[in-house]
Structure 1
């Protein structure tokens, strides 16, 4: 029992440390690795706004030095966050497996609901960590599109408002002859959504397989083996629900990737 408690304590401390690192460490580590920054939130938004306006005015597909530096910083920022989120996901997965085993092997006279409750919470946190991994991988693959999402187009004024208006006008008749910066935005946003679409469809297949295997495992268990049957049933239900949610997410991102000009237009209209 002492060994189990010690193991759970270490896993809890590891999860807490990684969560704090996920929140606090990316700006400083991204600055160290990229050589750019550091930026606070307001400063980053201002720089992104100015960089996109200059990039649009430059009319070249090649990123301006300022936007290139910001994209490099942003890629490293999300690389750090991805590493932390992956490590956290591994810790939570290990913890969830340990708790499930403890639940199954607990003595018949022992109340199992606290272990089941802890396993449910840890599993839910693992889902959150998974979402964080996917979201940050998006920004690694398409950092410029990710930065674009920081533009305050809904309250834009001055140069940014003029740029947004020009982008909207150009997108009404988008083609291969459209301005190079616009084509870059469209292509980068397509990559941004393709990442989630690929991960989403792959995850949906994996979750469906897990649900099917869990249903079969539950059916094979004798009726007196209540805890294993309950665990298999819970895994099957959770996997099925998550598979449906992931399919919806993957479908939405597939649609956006296939019609990325429309997605960019929706963003600059403030409806994305």
Structure 2
């Protein structure tokens, strides 16, 4: 009985391909699990870790409405116990979301690298496989950019949870004590800093937190822009260093170079807008309470 000898290295290549396929499947499964986890997990987990039972949106808004009015009435810089409990839950909520989005971004980055390499090697494997890889690459890239924006927003919410939480106040038309409280807040913000009278401590706390909220957004957006500029420069260097006969590599490098450049421009605009608000937060906070932000 004779056996056909296997070409040298064939077993190694097959084993390597199998490992690559398994790794790709694991990454795809992780991405598929993390996307719904971003929506479903933060509320219950934050309620468990913070000790607050605000995993229901309605209870969160009701708790904030009541505790915000109590805090305003206390005339103290320190958050009232009720408001501190709601803010604590909101902090945990954004930390959980930030961790999930960071994990998703890492998984998508690894998937994107594998898809790019597979697409560049797929030239002789048929148009159908190339189209499927290109489509998957587009989906992963779009999800990656969305995950980046979500991660930055949740870092912002974790660092300044009070300002982030206040965005839920207009979730239903204010009435009663909350309506009166918001009217007083608007009057003091409209007259700040030239009102001549005493500024309530709660206004100073909210203005300071609002400035921090937008400063964090400016810093994180600027950081993202710098990273994207670096990726764009690397893509264009790869484009310039590739022979003109290798159209597939040049097309991929040029496309990503343009995409990263455009994305960095968008993040730079976000950074500039938020830096402007951080420098003078009171008018923007007033616009928010008036429903214009």
Tell me, yes or no, if structure 1 residue 172 matches structure 2 residue 190. yes
Matched, 1:161 2:179: yes
Whether 1:202 and 2:202 are equivalent positions in the alignment is: no
Q: Which of residues 53, 65, 68 in structure 2 aligns to 1:37?
A: 53
* Contact 2:71/2:80, CA 8 A, preserved across alignment: yes
Match of 1:113 in 2: 131
Determine the C-alpha separation between the residues in 2 that align with 1:153 and 1:263: 19
Distance 1:130 1:63 in 2: 31
After TM superposition, the structure 1 stretch with the greater mean CA deviation from structure 2, 27-36 or 191-200, is 27-36
Cα distance in 1 for partners of 2:99, 2:234 equals 30
CA distance in 1, matches of 2:63, 2:55: 9
Deviates more, 1:87-96 or 1:161-170: 161-170
CA contact (8 A) 2:54 2:86 kept: no
Task: Show the counterpart of 1:148.
Answer: 166
For structure 1, which segment, 1-10 or 86-95, has the greater mean C-alpha deviation from structure 2 after superposition? 1-10
Contact 1:153 1:270 in 2 (8 A): no
Distance 2:33 2:237 in 1: 38
Could you tell me how far apart the structure 1 residues matched to 2:223 and 2:100 are? 22
Shift in CA distance, 142/57, structure 1 to aligned 2, threshold 3 Å: same
TM-score by length of 2: 0.88
1:70 and 1:230 mapped to 2: Cα distance? 50
The secondary structure found in structure 1 opposite 2:192 is coil
- Structure 2 match to 1:185: 206
Report the aligned-residue RMSD.
Answer: 1.7
1:73 equivalent in alignment to 2:73: no
Measured at CA, do residues 38 and 166 of structure 1 come closer, stay the same or move farther in structure 2, by a change above 3 Å? Answer: closer
What SS does the aligned partner of 2:124 have? coil
Q: Quick one: higher RCO (CA 8 Å, sep 6+), 1 or 2?
A: 1
TM, length-normalised to structure 1: 0.94
Q: What residue in structure 1 maps to residue 259 of structure 2? A: 238
CA contact (8 A) 1:153 1:164 kept: no
Gaps of 5+ in 1: none
Tell me by how many angstroms 1:154 deviates: 7.5
Bigger Rg, which one: 2
The number of residues matched between the two structures is: 272
Q: Select 1:83's aligned residue among 99, 123, 140.
A: 99
Unpaired runs of 5+ residues, structure 2, are 1-16
What secondary structure is seen at the aligned counterpart in 2 of 1:155? coil
